[in-house]
Structure 1
Amino acid sequence: MAKVELKTKASEVSVADYLAAIPEAARREDAAAIDALYRKVTGLEPKMWGPSIIGYGSYTYRYDSGREGTMCRAGFAPRKGNHVFYGLLEQAGEAQLARLGKYTTGKGCLYVRKLGDVDLAVLEDLVSLSWASINARYPA
């Protein structure tokens, strides 16, 4: 089966321009700090995926049905209400989440209103665990 054309794909939009265009200063500063955390963990420069996901690396997946796609290995989206973290919940243990601080979850994502609400060391651990897991599942 051929690859399905996905809406969420890497683009040539500048991550720096996207971050600079975030209207609220606090959200913009949080997004820059999250970007720095992901760069530290992944060692990669990010790309924009779709209109709002800042992603690091990529992998190709294939379902049993034969459907394939490509997605970022790690990423987040600095949305208006919350920063959305993708893929962190799969590896998170209850003890880690209890130490994280204020967050919500839904549809496999972790939502944080502002970075001041969470323990950055725990967040970095979650990003590192998620990064190791995706790389083990989909070796480069």
Structure 2
Amino acid sequence: MYELKTKETDNSVIAFIEEVENMKKREDAYKLLDLFTETTGLPAKMWGPSIIGFGSYHYKYESGHAGDAPLVGFSPRKAKISLYFATGDTQREVLLQQLGKHTAGKACVYINKVADIDTDVLKALIHQSIQFLKETYPNP
């Protein structure tokens, strides 16, 4: 049976951030930690070895595949900072147009640094993503 690699762990978020080699990226990670914590009202938890997630939801696809994932999160990766929001939400695209300098994949939004984006729009993306996921995957 398939086992998810990205599960909530008890690893320290602060210890993970302290291991980020690039000082500017580490500073941005702390800024994002504060922003996500303040916006969600939820504690930060490590998901897998490198994702800092906030809250969680249980999903189940028509294929039968199910699992748990953070509502929102981020990861200060070597190349860029990855931001994690809900996929499939049309409102996400509208907000991304206002975010600032970024690139987007299916599930991730990539930024070079926090200074490149509008943090008020980031807060709106966080709220929108959580609302969308809670409506799409209500608690069983």
TM-align CA RMSD? 1.7
Which residue of structure 2 aligns with residue 42 of structure 1?
Answer: 40
Q: What CA deviation, in whole Å up to 9, does each residue of 1:44-65 have, x standing for no partner?
A: 1111111110011112111112
Q: Which amino acid aligns with 2:51?
A: I
The reply on whether 1:129 has 2:106 as its aligned counterpart is: no
Which residue of structure 2 aligns with residue 67 of structure 1?
Answer: 65
Q: Which amino acid aligns with 1:92?
A: R
Q: Secondary structure at the match of 1:32?
A: helix
CA contact under 8 A between 2:85 and 2:125: conserved in structure 1?
no
TM value normalised by structure 2: 0.88
Q: Which amino acid aligns with 1:16?
A: I
In the alignment, structure 2 segments of 5+ residues that lack a partner are none
Number of residue-to-residue matches in the alignment? 137
1:88 Cα offset (Å): 5.3
CA contact under 8 A between 2:103 and 2:111: conserved in structure 1?
yes
1:84-103 counterparts in 2 under 5 A? Answer: 84-87=82-85, 90=89, 91-94=91-94, 96-103=95-102
Q: What CA deviation, in whole Å up to 9, does each residue of 1:4-56 have, x standing for no partner?
A: 42111011110011011111111011111111111112111111111110011
Q: How far apart, in 2, do the equivalents of 1:132 and 1:41 lie?
A: 13
Q: How far apart, in 2, do the equivalents of 1:23 and 1:54 lie?
A: 17
Q: Which amino acid aligns with 2:123?
A: E
Which residue of structure 2 aligns with residue 21 of structure 1?
Answer: 19
Q: What CA deviation, in whole Å up to 9, does each residue of 1:77-129 have, x standing for no partner?
A: 111111111125633243x3332111011233110010111111111111111
Q: How far apart, in 1, do the equivalents of 2:74 and 2:52 lie?
A: 5
Q: How far apart, in 2, do the equivalents of 1:126 and 1:136 lie?
A: 15
Runs (4+) of structure 1 exceeding 6 A deviation are none
Q: Secondary structure at the match of 1:75?
A: strand
